[in-house]
Amino acid sequence: MSSDALIRDFSGLSTTVIGDNLDRLRGAVGLRPLHGSKSVVGRAFTVQTRPGDNLFVHLSLDLAKPGDIIVVDGGGLETGALIGEIMMRYAQSKGIAGFVIDGAVRDAAAFIEAEFPCFARSTSNRGPHKNGPGTVRQPISVGGMPVQQGDIIVGDVDGVVAIRPDEAEHVLKQSTQQLVKERQLLEDIAEGRFDRRWLAELIELHGER
């Protein structure tokens, strides 16, 4: 399956369904959407920077390709923002799909107004330094989740997951099958035929006396 097709097909899946098919072990912890409820899917462009310094985040804006998601290991620092409205608007003009920041951002209202996908740990009105050091395109970790250059990133209201290219087709197939099953369960609930027999013994043991 082509890269574009994978991105398109993952866009119809939630991070919860995908996470269930990543052994429920992967997903960034502590990052949340700061832009609203819009979902995003794209390829990771990885950045590691000294906490509170965004020199290499600026570099990534000119190196990333349209459709990429810039994923930044900022060490989880929440006392200094790594990006703000100006960088967001420039990223938007370059066709970058979104940000995942293990750290803080500022100008939160601008991200909401633009509905530009940004997942971060918090907001801070304090600005960053621009001295380095840092890296681009190297393996990083955000919110305890390993991310490599080119991983497929999916972000929605429930968080962010990263899928390796070598496992993407398998995860996509398993997640799509799970989605079909979950839709059937929701239909069963709506129509009053939700099967709870798997709890029968516990219900018998702990039911009303």
CB under 8 Å to 13, separation ≥6 — which residues? Answer: 154, 172, 175, 176, 179
Domain residue limits, the chain:
3-172
Measured CA to CA, the distance from residue 32 to residue 83 in angstroms comes to 15
Q: How many residues does the chain have?
A: 209
Question: Which CATH number does the domain 3-172 belong to among 1.10.1200.10, 3.50.30.40, 3.40.50.300, 3.30.460.80?
Answer: 3.50.30.40
Which two tokens mark 34?
């700061």
Query: Which pLDDT belongs to residue 42?
Result: 97
| pLDDT tens-digit readout, 26-51 | 899 999 999 999 999 999 999 999 99
Which two tokens mark 78?
């929440």
pTM for the whole thing?
Answer: 0.94
Measured CA to CA, the distance from residue 172 to residue 178 in angstroms comes to 10
What's the rounded mean pLDDT across residues 164-176? 96
Query: Which pLDDT belongs to residue 88?
Result: 98
Average pLDDT, the chain: 95
